[in-house]
Amino acid sequence: MLWALAGLLIAGGVAVTLSRAAWISFAIAVGMALVLGVYARLITAKRAILVAFCCVIAVCAAALPFAGKLAERWSGKLDEAIEMRAKMARTALEIVRDHPVGGVGLNNFTVAYRSYDPATADMFETEWGTVPVVHNIFLLVWSETGTLGLVAYLGFWTVSFFWTMRYLRRLGPLGRCVAVGMWCGIAAVLISDMTSFGFWTEPVMYTGAVLLGLLEPLRFASPVRIRPLPARHTTVEPAPSTWPDRALSGRPA
């Protein structure tokens, strides 16, 4: 019940942002949590499907009274938003074409943008007081740091993810929950930043390496033991708790 209440509060907070990107990224992150939960043996596949079904029913029931407002927000200025993002994305690709290896330099997208599309840059200055970066984290990294930077950026997250998956099943239940939760949060921000510029302002992305560093102590959790049972059955029995599990659970060392 406590976890359900926490999930309800989180979902409510995401809903009131009225951000389409936040809604989509949160839904994908929840699905990712269920999939990784099954992989990490935190939940069975049948129960994960049941939870997903209940979540869909609950969301539909909660959204029904606000269907008109939600539909208006979902479609309101959608064409304008897509056109603006597509225009900036095309400019970012032009920058990549002219600076394919090393890009234009960190935090230089807004400077370079003025020389590629001065009319739109002036419009942004007039209406927003500043020129924003392209609303796509991957295009932003590519245009500012070049192909080398994009490969390094993608490699950082990819290697880190599979590195975590290698030892995920060896952790205690609480450690697995922490690892799955952190990665779902990181994934939600990355997905949201495919249509936004949170990387430019989002503190979570400034501390991405710190979040991964917090996962490092989990590697030293005791691996699980396999205890054979009669009738050709086996069960997984956690090894004695070590420092990471005690620290995460609040038990004294």
* 241, 225 Cβ separation under 8 angstroms: no
Alpha-carbon Rg for the chain in angstroms = 22
* The pair of three-digit structure tokens given for residue 169, joined into one six-digit string: 């099943």
* 106, 144 Cβ separation under 8 angstroms: yes
DSSP-derived secondary structure letter, 117: -
* 189, 205 Cβ separation under 8 angstroms: yes
How far is CA 48 from its chain centroid? 20
For residue 227, the model assigns a pLDDT of 47
For residue 226, the model assigns a pLDDT of 40
Write the DSSP assignment of 5-71 as a string of letters: HHHHHHHHHHHTTT-HHHHHHHHHHHHHHHHHHHHTTSS-HHHHHHHHHHHHHHHHHHHGGGHHHHH
Residue 175 CB neighbour total at 10 angstroms? 24
For residue 214, the model assigns a pLDDT of 75
Distance CA(69)–CA(123), nearest Å, equals 29
The pLDDT profile of the chain, 253 residues, written as one tens digit per residue, is: 666 677 777 777 777 777 777 788 888 988 999 999 999 989 899 999 998 888 888 777 777 777 777 777 666 667 777 888 889 999 999 999 999 999 999 889 989 999 998 888 888 888 888 888 888 889 999 999 999 999 999 998 898 898 888 888 888 888 888 889 888 888 888 888 887 765 555 555 666 677 777 776 666 654 554 444 455 544 545 555 554 555 555 555 4
- Contacts with 51 (C-beta within 8 Å, 6 or more apart), sequence order: 34, 43
**H helical segments located in the chain:** 2-15, 20-39, 45-63, 67-75, 78-98, 109-116, 118-128, 137-168, 173-192, 198-201, 203-206, 208-215, 243-249
Distance CA(133)–CA(91), nearest Å, equals 11
Residue 38 CB neighbour total at 10 angstroms? 16
For residue 56, the model assigns a pLDDT of 84
Q: What is the pTM of this model?
A: 0.73
Amino acid at 174: L
First to last CA, the chain: 29
